[in-house]
């Protein structure tokens, strides 16, 4: 086709035929285990100079010949928050000697024994108080309605009881019987009651501390100076 005809066809609106694209070369297939094509090959590395590895680790923040993390802890030792290995906990605390341990055990045993003794003493105290209350109640039942105190009695009979000098009002007949051991005196709730010798024996069998006075008829004047009716005690004397 001549150039004039091509120009005529272009003038009529026909487009020129597209030019064929040049064929591109296919990339070389990658062999298994090989490197991708086109990547520059590194030159063969020769032997490293001494200290090169340590220098590289120093730049990375580690220490030569140590842990790359820079903590300085040996493998297998877990560091504590204070920076000490876990196996060194309490290294600065002095170890307790065998003598200290034995002494602490002895103190603990003694404290436990003293505690048990206090508990036992308190138990015995409460038990004795209970027995005293029960005995007092039996004494009250024994002497109820059997006392011989006379409201009209004028004579005073003194006697020692509880470390102090006590007294009771009796008649002349009662005084003779009391000094002869035929009568006795029982203490009840702060009062002193005159009873027969037989009843006094029963009271003594139940609760001996309740017996305030039992006269021995064979006692001398030195043993019972208050038995003599002639023995005078000043009225203004406070007992």
The pTM of the full predicted model, rounded to 2 decimals, is 0.49
Q: What is the pLDDT of residues 15-29, one digit of tens each?
A: 666 666 665 555 555
- Can you tell me the distance from the alpha carbon of 187 to that of 136, in angstroms, rounded to the nearest whole number? 10
What is the H or E stretch that residue 155 is in?
strand 155-161
Yes or no: say if 135 and 148 are a contact pair by the CB < 8 Å rule: no
Residues 18, 29: contact at Cβ < 8 Å?
no
The DSSP element (H or E) to which 210 belongs, if any, is: none
Strand partners, 79: 85
The tens digit of pLDDT for each residue in 92-146 reads 655 667 888 888 888 999 999 999 999 999 999 999 999 999 999 999 999 999 9
For 184, phi then psi, to 5°, come to -145, 175
Question: What pLDDT, on the 0 to 100 scale, is given for residue 10?
Answer: 72
In 3D space, the residue among 172, 171, 197, 192 whose CA is nearest the CA of residue 182 turns out to be 197
């Amino acid at each position: 086709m001549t150039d004039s005809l091509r120009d005529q066809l272009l003038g009529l609106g026909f487009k020129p035929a597209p030019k064929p694209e040049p064929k591109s070369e296919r990339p070389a297939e990658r062999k298994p285990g090989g490197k991708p094509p086109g990547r520059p090959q590194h030159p063969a590395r020769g032997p490293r100079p001494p200290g090169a590895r340590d220098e590289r680790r120093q730049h990375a923040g580690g220490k030569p010949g140590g842990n790359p993390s820079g903590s300085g802890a040996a493998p297998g030792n877990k560091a504590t928050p204070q920076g000490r290995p876990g196996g060194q906990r309490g290294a600065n605390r002095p170890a307790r000697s065998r003598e200290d341990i034995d002494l602490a055990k002895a103190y603990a045993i003694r404290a436990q024994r003293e505690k048990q003794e206090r508990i036992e003493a308190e138990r015995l105290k409460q038990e004795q108080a209970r027995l005293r209350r029960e005995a007092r109640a039996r004494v009250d039942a024994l002497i109820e309605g059997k006392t011989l105190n006379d409201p009209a009695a004028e004579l005073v009979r003194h006697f020692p009881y509880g470390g102090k000098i006590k007294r009771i009002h009796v008649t002349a007949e009662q005084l003779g019987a009391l000094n002869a051991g035929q009568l006795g005196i029982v203490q009840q709730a702060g009062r002193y009651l005159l009873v027969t010798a037989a009843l006094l024996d029963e009271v003594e069998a139940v609760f001996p501390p309740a017996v305030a006075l039992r006269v021995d008829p064979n006692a001398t004047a030195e043993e019972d100076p208050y038995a003599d009716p002639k023995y005078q005690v000043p009225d203004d004397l406070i007992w």
